[in-house]
Structure 1
Amino acid sequence: MRVFLVAGEPSGDRLGGSLMEGLCSLVPDVEFDGVGGPLMQAQGLNSRFPMSELSVMGLVEVLPKFFHLKRRIAETAQAVLDIKPDVLITIDSPDFSLRVAKIVKAQSNIRTVHYVAPTVWAWRPGRADKMAKVIDHVLALLPFEPAYMERAGMECDFVGHPVATEPVASDQEITNFRTAHELGDAPLLLALPGSRRGEVDRLAPVFGQALTLFLRDHPDMRVVVPTVSHMVDAVREHLKDWPGNPVVVDPRDLPTDQAVAEKRAAFASADLALAASGTVSLELAAQNTPMVIAYKLSWLTQKIAERMVKLKTVTLVNLVSDTHAVPERLLDDCTPELIFEALAEVYSNPKAQQTAMDVTMNRLGRGGEAPGLRAARAVLDRLPARHG
C-alpha cells in the first residue's frame, strides 16, 4: 500500500506521525511519500522539501510567498499524480492542502482524505461545500465536527486527538528537566509565542512586555521558552529584550523522541503558561498546565477576520469543554497590560481551569484507543477496495 501525505506545520506533523505509526501497525508493507516534519520523517517519510516552507499564517502573510507556494502546490500535486498512491492524505494547512487535492482530483480518481476538519463552524462556512468537491473523507479531531462535514457530502470520522493519549511527564522527568536547565525549585512561566515566523515577530515583543510587568510582582519566577527547530534563532533574537533570564528549549540536537519528552517535561514543569492560540492549548491541558492564550494578526488580516469569525472563543480547551475557563487576550485585547492582568488572575487561582482541561482530554479520547490508530483504521475501512 502506498500513501502520500502532506503536512504544513508542526501540529500537522504531530498528527501525521501518529497516523503513520497507526498505519504501520495495521499494514506492515505500507510505503510513504510526501511532505512532513521530523515526527513524520521518524516514521519513514523522506520529505520532498522542508515542511517549514508551508508554515505561513494569515491572509496577508501568504502574499509575499504566493508564487513560491503556488509552485510547491503544482509540484506536490504532480508528484501525487506520478506516484498514483492508494490514498492522498492532506493534514491541516487547508489553503495549501485543498489546492493540491483540487489538482489531483481534476486529473485522477485518487482517493483524498483530509485530516483536521477546517473550522467551518467558526468562519467561512461555505468552505465545507467547496471542500466536498475535492475531498472524499475527513478525519475530525473534535467530536462535534462530523455533522458539518457530512452535511456537505463528505464521509467523516471523529478520531480524537493524539495529545489526549500521550503520557503526562513523570516527577523524575520534571526533576531531570529542572536540573538540566539549572532551574532549581524556582516557579516557572512557560512562554510560547508561536511556531511561525510571523507569529513570533508579532507576539514576542508583546509577550516580553507583559512578562516584564508580571515578573515585577514575581521576581523569583523563571521564564522557559520551548520552540521548534526552524524558529530557535528567531526566538533567541527576541528574547534579548525579555526579563526572567529565559531558558530556550532547543530541540535541534536531540533525537525526535527525546525532543518530544523534553517539551513534555517543560510543559509539566511550569506553574503557568502564556501561549499563542492553537493546538498548544491542548498540549498544555494534557500536562495540567494553567494558561492564558493571546494572539494578534496583521492589521489587514485582522480586519478581514473580524468580518468572518463567528466564535466567542478560539481556544480549543474552551471549545471542547464548552466553557470560557481559559482567559483569552485576542486582537485589540492582545496588549501587555491586559495579558499581565490575565496572568495574575490565573496564577492566583491555578486550579480554576482543571475541570475544563480534564473534560477536554476525556472528550478527545483520553483512556481510549490511540487517535493515530483510530485515524489509520478509519482511512483503511473507507478505502473502496475494502468494501469488496
Structure 2
Amino acid sequence: MTPPLEPGSAGALLTASRAEELSRHRHGRVIWILAGEASGDVIGARLMQALHARDPSLVFAGVGGGRMEALGLRSLFPMSDLAVMGLVEVLPRIRFLSQRLLEAVKDIELRRPDLVLTIDSPGFTLRLLRRIEYMGIRRLHYVAPQVWAWREKRVAEFPGLWDRLLCLLPFEPEWFAQRGIEARFVGHPVLQSGVRQGDARRFRLRHNIPENAPILILMPGSRRSEVPRLLPIFQKMVKILRVRFPNLCPVIPIAPIIAPTVRHLIRKWPDQPYVVTDIHDKHDAFAAAHCALTKSGTSTLELAMGGVPMAVTYRVNPVTAGFARRLIKVPYVAMINLLAGREVVPEMLQENCTPQKLADVVTLLLTDAAAAEKQRTAFQQILETLAPPVGTPADAAAAEVFDLLASPVAPPAS
C-alpha cells in the first residue's frame, strides 16, 4: 500500500505558487518529462532542445537533473532520489520511492499535460506510466526496457503502458515486434555526445599532466549505490599499477550529481585522481586517455566514440548478482560486445573484479598497441549501426513526440 502524503510534503497541496505555475503552463502545450539518472538527464536535455527548436511555446514540467533544469525545467523533486539500482539496494528505499511515485502521479493529475514522456529508469518510470493510465493522457517511453537481456516475461506487462516506445538500439524494434509490441528506432544519443570534439593537449595543459604520463580513465558509475562498490577496488588497483607505471594519471569523469560522493570516497587515496565534472573536460580527457576501466552501460559507447580502448567491470551485492545470473539471457553485459556479437572488450565482472585482475587487464591495454587498435577498429564498425535514418537521434525522437501529439488522445481507462 502506498503511504499517504504527509502535510506540507511536495505534491500534498496545490499551493498558490503551484496554481499560478499551472495557469501559466496552459498558454502552451505541456510535456511532463521524467529522467531518473544522469544518462537520462542528458537524453532529456537534448530532446527538450530539439522539441523547443520546433515549437518554442512548449512548456516542460516533471523531474530531471542539472542539464534539464538548465533548460528551464523546475524539477518536482531531486532526480538523485531515483538514482538507485539492485534488489538489495532498493529494498530499504521502497517507502521513500513510493512517496516520490505518488508525488509524480499527483503532479500529473494536477497539470493534465498534453503528453507524459518518461526516459529509461524502468523500475520507476513503468510504474508511473501504469499509475496514470486512467487519466487518458498520451504516454511515450524513451529508451526501451532491456528485457531482451533479462526478465523477458515482463513483456507481458507492457500492453497499455504507453502509446509509443522509442528504442536506442537497431535490433530492438524487430525483437519487440516478434512479441507483439510496436517499437521505433530513433538512433543512439551517444552520437550527439560531442566526444569526438575532445582536445588531448588542452586536457594535459589544463591539469598540468606531462606528455609522457599515461592517462587511465576510471568510470565507476552514476548511482550512489554502485560507486562505493567500485572505487575501493579501483584504489587498490591503482596502487598495483603505480609500481608498473610510476607516472600513471587516473582520471574520474563523473556527473556533477554524484561528484560529492566520489570526492568523499577518494579523499584518503594517497595519490588523488583527477575528478572531472565538466562535459567538455570529460571529452578532452577521453582524447588524452590511453585506456579506460568502466562499468557497463552507456559509458562503453561514449568511450568507443572517443576511441578509448577499455575493459568493462562491475560488482554488485552477491544476492543481486545471484538473481541476475539466473535471469540474464545475453552472453555479454557490455553494450559494445552485445552490438558486435562477440567480446570486443574484456568483461571483468563480480569475482573477476579484483584489484590484481583489473591491474593486469589495464597493463595489457597500456602496453599492447595492436590489441588497442583492434578495439578501435571494431568501435567504428559498431557505432555506424547506431545512427537514425535521418538527422540526429534527438531530432528523430522529437519527430515521434510531435507525431504522437498530433494523434487522437486515447480515452481514459475505466
Same fold (TM over 0.5): yes
Structure 1 equivalent of residue 391 of structure 2: 369
In the TM superposition, residue 224 of structure 1 has moved relative to its aligned partner by 0.9
Write the distance in 2 (CA, Å) between the matches of 1:92 and 1:267.
25
Matched, 1:104 2:142: no
Structure 1 equivalent of residue 231 of structure 2: 204
8 Å CA contact 2:197, 2:283 repeated in 1: no
Match of 1:319 among 332, 338, 357: 338
How do 1:272-351 residues align onto structure 2 when only pairs under 5 Å count?
272-347=291-366, 348=368, 349-351=371-373
8 Å CA contact 1:221, 1:244 repeated in 2: no
Match of 2:92 among 64, 81, 90: 64
Structure 1 equivalent of residue 9 of structure 2: none
3-state SS of 2:252 partner: strand
Matched, 1:83 2:105: no
Write the distance in 2 (CA, Å) between the matches of 1:224 and 1:336.
17
Structure 2 equivalent of residue 115 of structure 1: 142
Provide the aligned C-alpha RMSD in A: 1.9
3-state SS of 1:202 partner: helix
3-state SS of 2:208 partner: coil
Q: What amino acid does structure 2 have at the position aligned with 1:327?
A: P
Match of 1:263 among 275, 282, 286: 282
Q: Deviations over 1:53-96 (max 9, x none)?
A: 10001111011111110010111012112211121111010010
Structure 2 equivalent of residue 26 of structure 1: 54
Structure 2 equivalent of residue 175 of structure 1: 201
3-state SS of 1:155 partner: coil
8 Å CA contact 1:141, 1:159 repeated in 2: yes
Structure 2 equivalent of residue 37 of structure 1: 65
Match of 1:139 among 166, 174, 192: 166
Larger Rg over CA atoms:
2
Identity %: 39
Structure 2 equivalent of residue 46 of structure 1: 74
Structure 1 equivalent of residue 44 of structure 2: 16
Going from structure 1 to structure 2, the CA distance change for 1:168 and 1:193 (only over 3 Å counts) comes to: closer
Write the distance in 2 (CA, Å) between the matches of 1:43 and 1:319.
34
Matched, 1:149 2:168: no
Write the distance in 2 (CA, Å) between the matches of 1:211 and 1:126.
41
3-state SS of 1:3 partner: strand
8 Å CA contact 2:218, 2:252 repeated in 1: yes
Q: Which moved more, 1:72-81 or 1:178-187?
A: 178-187
Going from structure 1 to structure 2, the CA distance change for 1:144 and 1:261 (only over 3 Å counts) comes to: same
Write the distance in 2 (CA, Å) between the matches of 1:309 and 1:4.
32
Matched, 1:248 2:275: yes
Matched, 1:93 2:126: no
8 Å CA contact 1:89, 1:113 repeated in 2: yes
Question: TM-score under structure 2 normalisation?
Answer: 0.86
8 Å CA contact 2:237, 2:359 repeated in 1: yes
Write the distance in 2 (CA, Å) between the matches of 1:66 and 1:371.
34
Write the distance in 2 (CA, Å) between the matches of 1:383 and 1:23.
12
Matched, 1:354 2:380: no
In the TM superposition, residue 386 of structure 1 has moved relative to its aligned partner by 7.3
* Number of matched pairs: 377
Write the distance in 1 (CA, Å) between the matches of 2:175 and 2:132.
24
Q: What amino acid does structure 2 have at the position aligned with 1:336?
A: P
8 Å CA contact 1:189, 1:273 repeated in 2: yes
8 Å CA contact 1:142, 1:160 repeated in 2: yes
8 Å CA contact 1:209, 1:242 repeated in 2: no
Q: Deviations over 1:200-221 (max 9, x none)?
A: 1111111122222222211121
8 Å CA contact 2:195, 2:286 repeated in 1: no
Write the distance in 1 (CA, Å) between the matches of 2:229 and 2:95.
24
Write the distance in 1 (CA, Å) between the matches of 2:165 and 2:83.
21
Going from structure 1 to structure 2, the CA distance change for 1:152 and 1:380 (only over 3 Å counts) comes to: farther
Write the distance in 2 (CA, Å) between the matches of 1:260 and 1:31.
26
In the TM superposition, residue 231 of structure 1 has moved relative to its aligned partner by 2.2
How do 1:221-240 residues align onto structure 2 when only pairs under 5 Å count?
221-240=248-267
Q: Which moved more, 1:55-64 or 1:331-340?
A: 331-340
Structure 2 equivalent of residue 192 of structure 1: 219
Going from structure 1 to structure 2, the CA distance change for 1:77 and 1:153 (only over 3 Å counts) comes to: farther
8 Å CA contact 2:120, 2:143 repeated in 1: yes
Write the distance in 2 (CA, Å) between the matches of 1:307 and 1:61.
18
Write the distance in 1 (CA, Å) between the matches of 2:140 and 2:388.
24
Q: Is there any run of 5+ residues in structure 1 with no aligned partner, and where?
A: 252-258
In the TM superposition, residue 272 of structure 1 has moved relative to its aligned partner by 0.7
Write the distance in 1 (CA, Å) between the matches of 2:191 and 2:100.
33
Q: Is there any run of 5+ residues in structure 2 with no aligned partner, and where?
A: 1-28, 410-414
Q: Which moved more, 1:88-97 or 1:262-271?
A: 262-271
Write the distance in 1 (CA, Å) between the matches of 2:382 and 2:32.
31
Write the distance in 1 (CA, Å) between the matches of 2:177 and 2:101.
27
8 Å CA contact 2:196, 2:305 repeated in 1: no
3-state SS of 2:345 partner: coil
